Structure 1
Amino acid sequence: MAIYEKCLIERGNKSLNTITLQQKLLQPLRSVYLNLSIVQLSKSLNRVLYTFDNVDVCNFLVKRRNPVIRLLFEYMKQFSNVNHSCPFQDYILLRNLVIKNTDLVRVPIPKGEYSVMTSWKLNGIGVVEVNGFGVYE
């Protein structure tokens, strides 16, 4: 269904990392569903801050009703070619995504270590999980 041609994390200046993903689609995506969890990690207890199951991404890109996912999308769209609703064809790109602490001021989360876990269902088939870990200082 898709091939990851590039998955790259590069260390930049001032301890900032950039993330680049390039996914070649082998068929048009007419249906995209997302499961998303944001978890604050600690030594004693991990705290789930947000969990969203079966988010219809195609519908979200038209109506943008979920405020948390809308906030994440509004930030990420400047680094991505996902700027329209389904179907998606050819490539999905995320280029040089960098998340700075100053950009996170608007997000209502405490400082600490976090995990962002996603699983994606494309055209009705669960195909990929993308997870990230980071520190908000």
Structure 2
Amino acid sequence: MGMYTHTNQKLIQLIVILYFMPEITSKFEFTNIICNCVDEKFCAMDYCYLKSVNRSYKYLSVKVHLLQPPITNAKVNFAMYKRFSGYKPFLYNITVDGCKLLKNRKYNPVANYFFGFFKTLSNLNHSCPYHEDIIVDKVTSNIINHHATAVLPFPEGDYLVESHWFIDDIERAVFKVFGTLS
């Protein structure tokens, strides 16, 4: 009987310690963004930058000017890389129908994971045919923090999310977003 009481006391002590222990959370921070219009007859980058307002607040903004609208057939390849002596494939590499993704958020949950927060902070709010320039304005790491730490926890390290955009089965643009999870 005494052994069970000792075990219960230890269990209660562990529960109390865990309850009062501060929560350990990771933090995502953008480190770079690279945008490239592969087909300069189709699109032009008006701007693509990472802005550091202060040491703890950064955001990225992108504006792609479409030279040959409308977009009626789009595919997007999303790939995630983690740095291990160079960037190596990590966890995801998917290609989705961009028009279906814009039209139906339940079309592909993994793609929506990457694309969903950009959709809410951009003018990508309607389906194909798409006539407007693409504007992603002031995406902060706070949005990604929730996805990379609470929704689907990732190990600490340096990451790259690369997306290749194909319009009419021709590669038109490539975006690379770099960040650190610490």
Q: TM-score band, normalised by the shorter chain? A: 0.7 to 0.9
Shift of 1:45: 7.9
Q: What is the TM-score of this pair, normalised by structure 2?
A: 0.67
Asked if 1:29 corresponds to 2:89, the answer is no
- Higher deviation after alignment, 44-53 or 123-132: 44-53
Q: Which structure has more strand as a fraction of its residues?
A: 1
Q: 1:124 Cα deviation (Å)? A: 2.6
Structure 2 residue runs without a partner (length 5+) = 1-41
Could you tell me how far apart the structure 1 residues matched to 2:54 and 2:44 are? 30
Structure 1 stretches of 5 or more lacking a match?
none
1:46 to 88, 92, 101: 88
Structure 1 pair 45–14 and aligned structure 2 pair: CA distance change class (3 A)? closer
Alignment partner of 2:141: what SS? coil
Q: TM-score, normalised by structure 1?
A: 0.87
Query: Partners of 1:16 and 1:118 in 2: how far apart?
Result: 24
The corresponding residue for 2:136 is 94
Correspondence for 1:118: 163
Query: Structure 1 residues 41, 29: closer, same or farther in 2, change over 3 A?
Result: same
1:59 maps to: 100
Larger Rg belongs to: 2
Counterpart selection for 2:177 from 121, 126, 132: 132
CA 1:8/1:44 → structure 2, altered by over 3 Å: closer, same or farther? Answer: closer
**Sequence identity percentage:** 26
**Aligned twin of 1:13:** 54
CA deviations on 1:69-103 (whole Å, 9 max, x unpaired) are 11223322231110111111121100011113642
Counterpart code for 1:23 = V
Distance (Å, rounded) in 2 between the aligned partners of 1:73 and 1:117: 12
Partner SS for 2:110: helix
After TM superposition, give the deviation of residue 107 of structure 1 in Å. Answer: 2.4
Aligned residues, how many? 136
Q: Which has the higher helix share?
A: 2
User: CA, structure 1 residues 136+86, in 2 after alignment: closer, same or farther (shift >3 Å)?
Assistant: same
RMSD: 2.0
